[in-house]
Structure 1
Amino acid sequence: MAVLVKRGLVGELEAATTRARTKPRYELPRMENRPSLAVKEQAAVEAVRRGENPDPQAAFRAAKKGWLKKIDGNWTETPVNTTVAFVPNSFVRTASGSSPLARLLNAGEINPLMLAMRLYLRQNLMEARGVPVEDVRQHYHADVSEQLEQHPYRFVTLAQGRTWDVEDGSFDKSAISGRFNLENADFWRALRVLEHSHVVEWAVYTANGKPAGEYATGRPAKPGAVVRNGVIQVPAPESQAGRRAYAIFGAHEGLGADLAESMRHWQRANVLCAIEHASVPHTEGVGILRMTHRADTENTRAWWRQINAESRETGFFYSSVAEAIGVQVADISVTAACTSTAA
């Protein structure tokens, strides 16, 4: 904590009484992200603070930048946004090794840490399964789409990237970087640091239906896996569905009856896969960004129960597929315990 205070990321408060000094108290500094003021605009703000009438033109320019506002014909100063993001204790302190906060500080850049805070602020596990896909998302296309003989099902593997216009090439992620108060290049650079530091992960779902636009995304349908820094996280509930789909396809193709060997092959191949109805005309994938460290709250536990139930429901569908195509695959689903760093 002393390092955070020294670097200005946390402010230490003075206790009013001697007894209160037995426990240190801290406050988060206010983050100023409004455009800086020109000399005349700053003078207008200072005039308002003194209760004087500012230069009208300078005041209007300062208002456009978010520093002033006019109420009932009178200029008043706009206070800094005091919205704060709450982060779990495990992000700051761990029982062993370096905490995510320490790793980001050691990286020597401020943008990854600030982006992590803003992602925590935007994350909504219960309603969006993570950070809303309208803010940031990862795109996948159907790399293999193979119908299971005469059966009305299709085995699909997902690979990163979406090709919308052949001349423009493909892209694997899209975002509205302005929602995180970062320039586009700074946003993607900071996000890469968070990925490499295992601070964030992607929950990959199938998305059925042709998207309406180049950067649009379909509604998440079936869970496929959780990917952290390019590697599938096997214990995650969403990954249970993906490896069951792989096991069914392997049994159907006669790739071996040894389930353990099939699972090892799935892990080595690091393949994202799903089984869909053959009647679905277009299947792709969407990655939902979420933080790897999560607070141990009732809301988090409710979300964890929700995604476990969602994965079991997909498993039930896959069981019906296995029965329909005449293969036997053992039930490999496991309900994982919810922890602050689960999945």
Structure 2
Amino acid sequence: MSVFTQLSDTEIARFVSRFDAGAFVTAEGVSGGSENTNYFVDCSGGRFVLTLVERGPSADLPFFVRLLDCLHAAGLPVPHAITDRDGNALHTLRNKPALLQPRLSGSHVEHVNANQCAALGTMLAKLHNSACDLERTSDRGADWTVQKAMSLLDTVWKSHTPWLEPALLVLKEWLDFSGSEGFKNTDPDTSLPTSIIHGDLFRDNVLFEGDRITGVIDFYNAATGWTLFDIAVCVNDWCVDDFCLNTDRTDALLTAYASVHPFSAQERACWSQMLQLAALRFWVSRQQYALEHKNQAGVLVKDPEYFHRVMKMHVQSGQTVDLP
């Protein structure tokens, strides 16, 4: 969460004075992400996170507020937007949309274990079951992913063409059959389950105390999507060691998820394609971001190489853990 917009203590104190948060004490810019500006804000009435939304259309923000309210009401540990004394959750600061949310307890875990992966699987299934009939179209969905990847083959990914182009053509053919953003395939015998998905549930978006999840954050990629895609995103980050799937952690995550939200036969049939699509999605977006912000000071650019290697692992090794 790089600080793209520098705020003074005076500006932050004036902003939080609209809320029943108590007196402003201190604020600290948060580094570690790549899309929005975030500040940890301590007040006499509690600890908060102030977010300036830097990316994406502001018209989508009411959706995020409703989604997080819904998930909070369902008992999930999410950073719902706090309303001010007039009942408003959405604000403007420095001409950018601004939200104040409670700061959740816990910390990020870099080296995860099977119990933590099981907790993640359970949490993700509950999230998929609690989406409150909301809908949103992602601007970085499956069709976007494959089309962008094809265009990169002509430039920075040219050296990957021999192995990547055939894989992209297979994925494109599968998407044409299965449906993608618009979920064109409505045949109940071949369609995949959909819901509002988190879309970005990496280790740095989950907080733990021991093996217990205390927070799920950063929902700005949430949209209507295949629930299996959300699971594949998690497996590609939480369950890969030295570019091999860790079978214990993968099985723990999938089994815990299935105990709440069982997998369908259609999901089992396309699991390998979904793992590839999830890896490709973040390889593409990180590559694009790296090109856009090359040599730009103060912006965290995550290395695309990790997902290049995960994608190649899925394409060339065929290694997977079957869905339970």
Fold equivalence (TM over 0.5): no
Report which of the two structures shows the higher radius of gyration computed on alpha carbons.
1
What TM-score, normalized by structure 2, do the two folds share? 0.25
Q: Hey, which of these two has a bigger chunk of helix by percent?
A: 2
Q: Hey, which of these two has a bigger chunk of strand by percent?
A: 1
